[in-house]
A and B are shown apart, each in its own frame.
Chain A
Amino acid sequence: MTARYYWGLHLGLIALLFAGHFVLPAYQHGNVARIMVLAVYAMGYNIAFGYTGLLSLGHAMFFGAGMYGMGLLSYHFDAGALPAMAAGIVAGVVLSLVVGLLALRTAGVSFMIVTLMFSQALAMTLVYFRDITRGDEGFVIPSATRRLWGMDLSDEAHRYLIAWALFSVVLIFTLWLVRHRWGRVFVALRENEERASLLGYDAFRTKLGALVISGTISALSGAAYALLFGYAGATFAGVQYSIFPLLWVLLGGAGTVLGPFVGALFMFYLIDLSSGVTDAYMLIAGVALVLLTLFLPHGLVGEVKRRLWRDLP
């Protein structure tokens, strides 16, 4: 397949989601806006895990850094949306750089444990400094600061469009990145780190670059989540929010650009629909996930790539 086809596919999804703004019923409209923001988080995670092979169990720290970087500036200093978002992104860049410099000295299981520990340390810090962060309760982002270019972001229509714009930009960036030579070096490292080193690539610096890009996109998602949905809480920096992007990426297809969105969409609606049927909805979700893992081990988009479209990015 040529580049025209896969660009068409990805731009087609963006167009479809834009059309959703006009046709989706109110409840689904809100859901899809939330899914798009969470899919940005998953796309960030996918750059580290899916393309570079860095299995992190602590990405919630980057999501949380973005959320609190943005939220605290709004909450305590009434900062506008743009400077607050910028603070969230900077928090993600700095944290991912520092964590990367330390955690990337390990690999494999050790890397998983170290990232998990860093993430837990951040979550506990957020709870400990409750005078600043409001601890477990979290805090509501003041509505006066949730305005962007004259748009009130508590309005559902504006919220959807900003979420769509963010999703579109990150999707296109990811597609560009993985087709760019850097993206190929990420894949080369994932496939065979020693061989990539023997072709002249500094594995540590390359992985650090991938982790910073991944952490920054995750922080962007966290900041956007706080801005659009008006709340920041320590739960979002907890271990559950480190597991979610891993599940979304695995379900959708690690190392595919569309996989994170498809995985997030699938899991969101699996839980949403099953919770309408029974209180034991996590059991249904769990069984479905086990079946999917058994019969579609490469994920939904990953199986399409494996069986039908091998050069799908």
Chain B
Amino acid sequence: MLKIEGLDVSYGAAQVLRGVSLTAQAGQITCLMGRNGAGKTTLMKAIMGLLPPGAGSIALEGTLLSDLPPHEVPKQGVGYIPQGRRLFGELTVAQNIEIGLMTRGGDAALREELLEIFPRLRERLGQRADTLSGGEQQMLATARALALRPKLLLLDEPTEGLQPSMIEVIRQVVLTMRDRGVAVLLVEQRVDAVLDMADRVFVIEMGANRDEMDRATLRADPGRLRAHLGV
């Protein structure tokens, strides 16, 4: 599904990613872990075309995403929920969802499906997005990304700052997407959540691959993951 090979990314003269390689498979949750400043968000932005690679490639089902401008990447079926949600605050909940639906021809049935996943949003359809609580904003950001009918879903610390009930809602959505065959690439700092959900974990450090673990390894030796993060 997603295949990243030898990726270098720089901000001007500062190289942030150094030869990063990673894969994410359909129907699996792939977690990306690393300390602050390791380059996780940079990698997400590079996948979305916001940062051009200096070397290496990013391919989704054989299509080179790294050759596409940012607005073409979602049309390939990539949904991205960035850190901090970044909603369109002046638009209503309904309009935010509609903006997502329009890109890949989503219809009323998909809209209804999204509102079934997030019933709280149905009660807030006419409300401006900037008046929602943090948890509701995360639901809306997630719904808007799902409106793209993603084959690959990128989530950058989706549970940061949320209360436990909201974290559970997001967890269920991630699991549902996996069960529907979506490839999920999740940046997550909470080790317990990763141990619970991940099918595969990539650890990056100082912008380079440090370790890779499959589910069996994670179960057998959870301390290995904790050691990387110093927790």
Contacts and interface: CB of A to CB of B under 8 A. Distances in A.
A191 B104 contact: no
Contacts of B80: 198
A181 B94 CA distance: 11
A130 interface: no
27 contacts: A181-B99, A184-B99, A185-B99, A188-B91, A191-B88, A191-B89, A191-B91, A192-B86, A194-B50, A194-B70, A196-B88, A197-B70, A198-B48, A198-B70, A198-B74, A198-B80, A198-B82, A199-B100, A199-B103, A199-B148, A200-B72, A200-B104, A200-B148, A201-B103, A202-B69, A311-B126, A311-B128
Size class of A's contact patch?
Answer: 20 to 34
- Which residue, of B74, B88, B98, has the highest number of chain A Cβ atoms within 10 A? B88
Interface of A: 181, 184-185, 187-188, 191-192, 194-203, 255, 310-311
A interface, over-half SS: helix
B128 A181 contact: no
Nearest to B129: A191
Contacts of A200: 71-72, 74-75, 103-104, 148
Contact of A187 (B48, B73, B91, B102): B91
Interface string B167-194: 0000000000000000000000000000
A194 B80 CA distance: 12
A199 B89 contact: no
A201 B86 CA distance: 15
B71 A187 contact: no
Nearest to A184: B95
Contacts of B102: 181, 185
Contact of A195 (B86, B90, B126, B128): B86
A85 B69 CA distance: 40
Contacts of B40: none
A199 to B, nearest CB: 6
A181 to B, nearest CB: 6
Contacts of B151: none
B99 A199 contact: yes
Nearest to A195: B86
A195 B95 CA distance: 15
Nearest to A190: B90
Contacts of B144: 199
A185 B88 CA distance: 10
A187 B92 CA distance: 11
Nearest to A181: B102
Nearest to B99: A188
B128 A310 contact: yes
Given A191-B90, A195-B88, A203 B71 contact: yes
